[in-house]
Structure 1
Amino acid sequence: MDLFKNIVEVKGLLDKIYLQTLELIEEDVSIKINIEKLTNEGTLNLAKTRYNQGSNTVSITQLPTDDDREFFALKTVERTSDINSNCTQFALECHAVDKDSNHIDPINWFGVLIPQSLKIAREKYEKAIELSIESANVRQKIAKNCELIRKLKRIKRQFEKIEE
Protein backbone atom coordinates (compact mmCIF):
# COMPACT_ATOMS: atom_id res chain seq x y z
CA MET A 1 0.00 0.00 0.00
CA ASP A 2 2.98 2.26 0.55
CA LEU A 3 3.83 1.92 -3.14
CA PHE A 4 0.64 3.66 -4.26
CA LYS A 5 -0.51 7.20 -3.48
CA ASN A 6 -4.18 6.58 -4.14
CA ILE A 7 -6.74 4.11 -5.40
CA VAL A 8 -6.61 5.59 -8.92
CA GLU A 9 -3.04 4.34 -9.38
CA VAL A 10 -4.04 0.86 -8.23
CA LYS A 11 -7.02 0.80 -10.60
CA GLY A 12 -4.85 2.01 -13.49
CA LEU A 13 -2.29 -0.72 -12.86
CA LEU A 14 -5.04 -3.32 -12.53
CA ASP A 15 -6.44 -2.25 -15.90
CA LYS A 16 -3.00 -2.58 -17.53
CA ILE A 17 -2.45 -6.02 -16.04
CA TYR A 18 -5.94 -7.19 -17.06
CA LEU A 19 -5.24 -6.03 -20.62
CA GLN A 20 -1.83 -7.71 -20.66
CA THR A 21 -3.39 -10.92 -19.32
CA LEU A 22 -6.04 -10.91 -22.04
CA GLU A 23 -3.32 -10.44 -24.67
CA LEU A 24 -1.39 -13.36 -23.17
CA ILE A 25 -4.53 -15.53 -23.22
CA GLU A 26 -5.05 -14.62 -26.87
CA GLU A 27 -1.43 -15.52 -27.62
CA ASP A 28 -1.79 -18.85 -25.79
CA VAL A 29 -4.95 -19.75 -27.72
CA SER A 30 -3.20 -18.89 -30.98
CA ILE A 31 -0.22 -21.05 -30.04
CA LYS A 32 -2.47 -23.98 -29.14
CA ILE A 33 -4.30 -23.68 -32.46
CA ASN A 34 -0.93 -23.82 -34.23
CA ILE A 35 0.10 -26.85 -32.15
CA GLU A 36 -3.08 -28.64 -33.16
CA LYS A 37 -2.54 -27.73 -36.82
CA LEU A 38 1.07 -28.93 -36.76
CA THR A 39 0.28 -32.23 -35.06
CA ASN A 40 -2.52 -32.87 -37.55
CA GLU A 41 -0.15 -32.15 -40.45
CA GLY A 42 2.50 -34.39 -38.86
CA THR A 43 -0.01 -37.19 -38.44
CA LEU A 44 -1.12 -36.81 -42.06
CA ASN A 45 2.49 -37.00 -43.28
CA LEU A 46 3.10 -40.04 -41.12
CA ALA A 47 0.02 -41.66 -42.66
CA LYS A 48 1.34 -40.80 -46.15
CA THR A 49 4.61 -42.50 -45.28
CA ARG A 50 2.83 -45.61 -44.04
CA TYR A 51 0.68 -45.67 -47.18
CA ASN A 52 3.63 -45.20 -49.56
CA GLN A 53 6.07 -47.51 -47.78
CA GLY A 54 3.64 -50.10 -46.49
CA SER A 55 2.25 -50.44 -43.01
CA ASN A 56 5.10 -52.66 -41.79
CA THR A 57 7.94 -50.28 -42.71
CA VAL A 58 6.71 -47.49 -40.44
CA SER A 59 5.26 -49.24 -37.43
CA ILE A 60 5.89 -50.26 -33.87
CA THR A 61 8.22 -53.01 -35.08
CA GLN A 62 10.90 -50.36 -35.77
CA LEU A 63 10.83 -49.11 -32.19
CA PRO A 64 13.48 -50.36 -29.78
CA THR A 65 12.61 -53.13 -27.35
CA ASP A 66 13.70 -53.75 -23.77
CA ASP A 67 16.66 -55.76 -25.08
CA ASP A 68 18.10 -52.81 -27.03
CA ARG A 69 20.67 -50.40 -25.69
CA GLU A 70 19.34 -47.51 -23.61
CA PHE A 71 19.30 -44.13 -25.33
CA PHE A 72 18.55 -40.50 -24.47
CA ALA A 73 16.30 -37.94 -26.13
CA LEU A 74 17.80 -35.44 -28.56
CA LYS A 75 15.58 -32.72 -27.13
CA THR A 76 14.77 -32.24 -23.47
CA VAL A 77 12.93 -29.58 -21.50
CA GLU A 78 15.05 -27.40 -19.27
CA ARG A 79 13.42 -25.47 -16.43
CA THR A 80 14.99 -22.20 -15.31
CA SER A 81 13.96 -19.62 -12.76
CA ASP A 82 13.99 -15.99 -13.81
CA ILE A 83 15.18 -14.00 -10.78
CA ASN A 84 13.87 -10.66 -12.10
CA SER A 85 10.28 -11.79 -12.66
CA ASN A 86 10.35 -14.59 -10.05
CA CYS A 87 8.85 -16.88 -12.66
CA THR A 88 9.76 -20.33 -13.95
CA GLN A 89 10.65 -20.46 -17.64
CA PHE A 90 11.02 -23.47 -19.88
CA ALA A 91 13.47 -23.96 -22.75
CA LEU A 92 14.13 -26.74 -25.21
CA GLU A 93 17.63 -28.13 -24.86
CA CYS A 94 18.93 -29.78 -28.03
CA HIS A 95 21.59 -32.48 -27.93
CA ALA A 96 23.73 -33.54 -30.86
CA VAL A 97 23.55 -37.07 -32.20
CA ASP A 98 26.35 -38.90 -30.41
CA LYS A 99 26.53 -42.67 -30.06
CA ASP A 100 29.05 -42.40 -27.22
CA SER A 101 26.60 -40.50 -25.02
CA ASN A 102 23.66 -42.60 -26.31
CA HIS A 103 21.98 -39.68 -28.08
CA ILE A 104 20.68 -41.34 -31.23
CA ASP A 105 18.46 -40.08 -34.04
CA PRO A 106 15.23 -42.12 -34.01
CA ILE A 107 14.47 -41.40 -37.67
CA ASN A 108 17.28 -43.79 -38.57
CA TRP A 109 15.23 -46.67 -37.14
CA PHE A 110 13.20 -46.54 -40.34
CA GLY A 111 16.04 -47.28 -42.74
CA VAL A 112 18.77 -45.54 -44.69
CA LEU A 113 16.53 -43.99 -47.34
CA ILE A 114 14.14 -41.96 -45.23
CA PRO A 115 10.99 -40.85 -47.08
CA GLN A 116 10.46 -37.11 -47.44
CA SER A 117 7.00 -37.34 -45.85
CA LEU A 118 8.55 -38.88 -42.73
CA LYS A 119 11.08 -36.04 -42.53
CA ILE A 120 8.26 -33.50 -42.92
CA ALA A 121 6.25 -35.26 -40.18
CA ARG A 122 9.26 -35.05 -37.90
CA GLU A 123 9.66 -31.31 -38.61
CA LYS A 124 5.98 -30.70 -37.84
CA TYR A 125 6.21 -32.58 -34.55
CA GLU A 126 9.43 -30.75 -33.59
CA LYS A 127 7.79 -27.39 -34.27
CA ALA A 128 4.77 -28.48 -32.18
CA ILE A 129 7.12 -29.30 -29.30
CA GLU A 130 8.75 -25.87 -29.57
CA LEU A 131 5.32 -24.23 -29.52
CA SER A 132 4.36 -26.32 -26.48
CA ILE A 133 7.33 -24.87 -24.63
CA GLU A 134 6.30 -21.38 -25.73
CA SER A 135 2.74 -22.05 -24.54
CA ALA A 136 4.01 -23.22 -21.15
CA ASN A 137 5.99 -19.98 -20.79
CA VAL A 138 2.93 -17.90 -21.70
CA ARG A 139 0.86 -19.85 -19.13
CA GLN A 140 3.51 -19.06 -16.51
CA LYS A 141 3.19 -15.35 -17.32
CA ILE A 142 -0.61 -15.58 -17.07
CA ALA A 143 -0.33 -17.26 -13.67
CA LYS A 144 2.08 -14.56 -12.50
CA ASN A 145 -0.34 -11.85 -13.67
CA CYS A 146 -3.24 -13.55 -11.84
CA GLU A 147 -1.18 -13.58 -8.66
CA LEU A 148 -0.38 -9.88 -9.11
CA ILE A 149 -4.06 -9.10 -9.75
CA ARG A 150 -5.03 -10.78 -6.47
CA LYS A 151 -2.46 -8.70 -4.58
CA LEU A 152 -3.59 -5.47 -6.23
CA LYS A 153 -7.24 -6.25 -5.46
CA ARG A 154 -6.29 -6.66 -1.80
CA ILE A 155 -4.55 -3.28 -1.85
CA LYS A 156 -7.56 -1.75 -3.60
CA ARG A 157 -9.89 -3.07 -0.87
CA GLN A 158 -7.63 -1.53 1.77
CA PHE A 159 -7.87 1.85 0.03
CA GLU A 160 -11.65 1.48 -0.15
CA LYS A 161 -11.84 0.77 3.60
CA ILE A 162 -9.76 3.88 4.33
CA GLU A 163 -12.05 6.03 2.18
CA GLU A 164 -15.16 4.84 4.07
Structure 2
Amino acid sequence: MNEHTENIDNICATLDKLTIDSLILMQEEIELKLIAENAMIGGETHLAKSRYILGQNNVSSIQLPTENSPEFRALTTIDLSIDEFGLHQFSLESKKPDNENYINPIKWFGYLTPQNLSFAQNLYRQALQWIIQAANIQCKLKETCKQINQLKQIKYIINKENK
Protein backbone atom coordinates (compact mmCIF):
# COMPACT_ATOMS: atom_id res chain seq x y z
CA MET A 1 0.00 0.00 0.00
CA ASN A 2 2.94 2.32 0.71
CA GLU A 3 4.26 1.85 -2.85
CA HIS A 4 0.79 2.71 -4.16
CA THR A 5 0.68 6.04 -2.33
CA GLU A 6 4.25 6.80 -3.38
CA ASN A 7 3.35 6.24 -7.05
CA ILE A 8 0.23 8.38 -6.72
CA ASP A 9 2.25 11.12 -4.98
CA ASN A 10 4.83 11.10 -7.79
CA ILE A 11 2.10 11.25 -10.42
CA CYS A 12 0.33 14.08 -8.59
CA ALA A 13 3.58 16.05 -8.25
CA THR A 14 4.26 15.61 -11.96
CA LEU A 15 0.68 16.61 -12.78
CA ASP A 16 1.08 19.75 -10.66
CA LYS A 17 4.30 20.67 -12.45
CA LEU A 18 2.80 20.04 -15.89
CA THR A 19 -0.31 22.06 -15.02
CA ILE A 20 1.82 25.02 -13.96
CA ASP A 21 3.89 24.63 -17.14
CA SER A 22 0.72 24.64 -19.23
CA LEU A 23 -0.52 27.82 -17.53
CA ILE A 24 2.82 29.52 -18.18
CA LEU A 25 2.72 28.41 -21.83
CA MET A 26 -0.85 29.72 -22.17
CA GLN A 27 0.21 33.07 -20.76
CA GLU A 28 3.19 33.29 -23.14
CA GLU A 29 1.00 32.37 -26.11
CA ILE A 30 -1.59 35.01 -25.24
CA GLU A 31 1.10 37.67 -24.79
CA LEU A 32 2.69 36.82 -28.15
CA LYS A 33 -0.67 36.88 -29.91
CA LEU A 34 -1.45 40.29 -28.41
CA ILE A 35 1.93 41.63 -29.54
CA ALA A 36 1.35 40.19 -33.03
CA GLU A 37 -2.12 41.72 -33.11
CA ASN A 38 -0.70 45.13 -32.20
CA ALA A 39 1.89 44.82 -34.97
CA MET A 40 -0.85 43.88 -37.46
CA ILE A 41 -2.94 46.87 -36.37
CA GLY A 42 0.11 49.11 -36.81
CA GLY A 43 0.69 47.65 -40.27
CA GLU A 44 -2.95 48.26 -41.20
CA THR A 45 -2.66 51.85 -39.99
CA HIS A 46 0.42 52.45 -42.13
CA LEU A 47 -1.30 50.84 -45.12
CA ALA A 48 -4.25 53.17 -44.61
CA LYS A 49 -1.89 56.16 -44.52
CA SER A 50 -0.26 54.92 -47.74
CA ARG A 51 -3.67 54.59 -49.37
CA TYR A 52 -4.47 58.14 -48.32
CA ILE A 53 -1.18 59.46 -49.74
CA LEU A 54 -1.17 57.48 -53.01
CA GLY A 55 -4.89 57.09 -53.52
CA GLN A 56 -7.11 54.12 -52.84
CA ASN A 57 -6.59 52.59 -56.29
CA ASN A 58 -2.79 52.73 -56.04
CA VAL A 59 -2.60 50.69 -52.83
CA SER A 60 -5.04 47.85 -53.30
CA SER A 61 -5.24 44.22 -54.31
CA ILE A 62 -5.06 45.31 -57.96
CA GLN A 63 -1.28 45.73 -57.60
CA LEU A 64 -0.77 42.22 -56.23
CA PRO A 65 0.49 39.55 -58.62
CA THR A 66 -2.07 37.33 -60.31
CA GLU A 67 -1.88 33.98 -62.06
CA ASN A 68 -0.82 35.74 -65.27
CA SER A 69 2.03 37.64 -63.60
CA PRO A 70 5.63 36.49 -63.99
CA GLU A 71 6.67 33.91 -61.44
CA PHE A 72 8.65 34.92 -58.41
CA ARG A 73 10.02 33.16 -55.36
CA ALA A 74 9.29 34.12 -51.80
CA LEU A 75 12.38 35.22 -49.91
CA THR A 76 10.93 34.15 -46.57
CA THR A 77 9.25 30.81 -46.07
CA ILE A 78 8.06 28.85 -43.06
CA ASP A 79 10.09 25.74 -42.32
CA LEU A 80 8.60 22.89 -40.30
CA SER A 81 10.93 20.56 -38.45
CA ILE A 82 10.52 17.96 -35.75
CA ASP A 83 12.85 18.10 -32.76
CA GLU A 84 14.32 15.16 -30.85
CA PHE A 85 11.20 14.94 -28.64
CA GLY A 86 8.84 14.75 -31.62
CA LEU A 87 7.58 18.32 -31.26
CA HIS A 88 6.84 20.34 -34.37
CA GLN A 89 9.01 23.44 -34.59
CA PHE A 90 8.28 26.25 -37.00
CA SER A 91 10.92 28.70 -38.14
CA LEU A 92 11.28 31.41 -40.73
CA GLU A 93 13.77 30.62 -43.43
CA SER A 94 15.06 33.71 -45.21
CA LYS A 95 16.96 33.62 -48.48
CA LYS A 96 19.10 36.34 -49.96
CA PRO A 97 17.64 37.82 -53.11
CA ASP A 98 19.33 37.08 -56.40
CA ASN A 99 19.63 40.50 -57.98
CA GLU A 100 18.42 39.38 -61.41
CA ASN A 101 14.90 38.31 -60.54
CA TYR A 102 14.38 40.14 -57.25
CA ILE A 103 11.56 42.64 -57.15
CA ASN A 104 10.83 44.29 -53.83
CA PRO A 105 7.11 43.72 -53.18
CA ILE A 106 6.76 47.38 -52.26
CA LYS A 107 7.58 48.22 -55.90
CA TRP A 108 4.30 46.54 -56.91
CA PHE A 109 2.71 49.74 -55.65
CA GLY A 110 4.96 52.07 -57.64
CA TYR A 111 8.56 53.24 -57.55
CA LEU A 112 8.04 56.32 -55.42
CA THR A 113 6.18 54.81 -52.50
CA PRO A 114 5.63 56.51 -49.16
CA GLN A 115 7.68 55.47 -46.17
CA ASN A 116 4.50 54.24 -44.48
CA LEU A 117 4.43 51.31 -46.90
CA SER A 118 7.89 50.22 -45.70
CA PHE A 119 6.80 50.64 -42.09
CA ALA A 120 3.77 48.43 -42.76
CA GLN A 121 5.98 45.80 -44.40
CA ASN A 122 8.32 45.75 -41.38
CA LEU A 123 5.44 45.50 -38.93
CA TYR A 124 3.94 42.58 -40.86
CA ARG A 125 7.34 40.85 -40.84
CA GLN A 126 7.57 41.29 -37.07
CA ALA A 127 4.02 40.00 -36.65
CA LEU A 128 4.93 36.91 -38.66
CA GLN A 129 7.90 36.23 -36.37
CA TRP A 130 5.71 36.54 -33.27
CA ILE A 131 3.05 34.30 -34.81
CA ILE A 132 5.72 31.66 -35.48
CA GLN A 133 6.82 31.87 -31.83
CA ALA A 134 3.19 31.54 -30.71
CA ALA A 135 2.74 28.49 -32.94
CA ASN A 136 5.82 26.85 -31.38
CA ILE A 137 4.46 27.54 -27.90
CA GLN A 138 1.10 26.13 -28.95
CA CYS A 139 2.84 22.90 -30.03
CA LYS A 140 4.54 22.68 -26.62
CA LEU A 141 1.21 23.34 -24.93
CA LYS A 142 -0.49 20.54 -26.87
CA GLU A 143 2.28 18.14 -25.89
CA THR A 144 2.01 19.20 -22.24
CA CYS A 145 -1.76 18.66 -22.27
CA LYS A 146 -1.22 15.26 -23.86
CA GLN A 147 1.19 14.32 -21.06
CA ILE A 148 -1.30 15.54 -18.45
CA ASN A 149 -4.04 13.36 -19.93
CA GLN A 150 -1.74 10.34 -20.03
CA LEU A 151 -0.80 10.79 -16.38
CA LYS A 152 -4.46 11.21 -15.41
CA GLN A 153 -5.25 7.91 -17.12
CA ILE A 154 -2.37 6.18 -15.33
CA LYS A 155 -3.51 7.63 -12.01
CA TYR A 156 -7.07 6.46 -12.68
CA ILE A 157 -5.87 2.93 -13.51
CA ILE A 158 -3.68 2.74 -10.39
CA ASN A 159 -6.52 3.96 -8.17
CA LYS A 160 -8.95 1.52 -9.77
CA GLU A 161 -6.60 -1.45 -9.30
CA ASN A 162 -5.97 -0.68 -5.63
CA LYS A 163 -9.57 -0.34 -4.53
State the TM-score, normalized to the length of structure 2. 0.89
Inter-partner Cα distance in structure 2 for 1:53 and 1:103? 24
| Secondary structure in 2 matching 1:80 | strand
- Separation in 2, partners of 1:152, 1:86: 18
Match of 2:90 in 1: 90
Corresponding residue for 1:140?
Answer: 139
Q: Percent identity between the aligned chains?
A: 38
How far did residue 104 of structure 1 move? 3.7
Aligned ranges 1:14-93 → 2 under 5 Å: 14-83=15-84, 85-93=85-93
Quote how far apart the aligned CAs of 1:150 are.
Answer: 1.1
Structure 1 portions without partners, runs of 5+? none
Number of residue pairs the alignment of both structures matches: 159
Q: 2:10 corresponds to which residue?
A: 9
**CA pair 161-67 structure 1, distance change in 2 beyond 3 A:** closer
1:99-149 deviations in Å (ceiling 9; x for gaps): 55x554211212333311111100111111111111111110011011101
Give the superposed CA RMSD: 1.8
Amino acid at match of 1:88: H
Question: What is the distance in 1 between the residues matched to 2:114 and 2:61?
Answer: 17
Q: Tell whether 2:108 aligns with 1:109.
A: yes
What is the distance in 2 between the residues matched to 1:7 and 1:103?
Answer: 61
Specify the SS of the correspondent of 1:32. Answer: helix
Runs of 4+ residues over 6 Å off in structure 1:
none
SS at match of 2:35: helix
The letter of the residue matching 1:9 is N
Kindly indicate whether the alpha-carbon contact (under 8 Å) linking 1:75 and 1:95 is maintained by their aligned counterparts in 2: yes
Residues 82 and 88, structure 1, Cα contact 8 Å, conserved in 2 = yes
AA in 1 matched with 2:53: N
CA distance in 2 between counterparts of 1:16 and 1:103 reads 50
Give 1:152's aligned residue: 151
Q: Cα distance, 1:50 vs. partner? A: 0.8
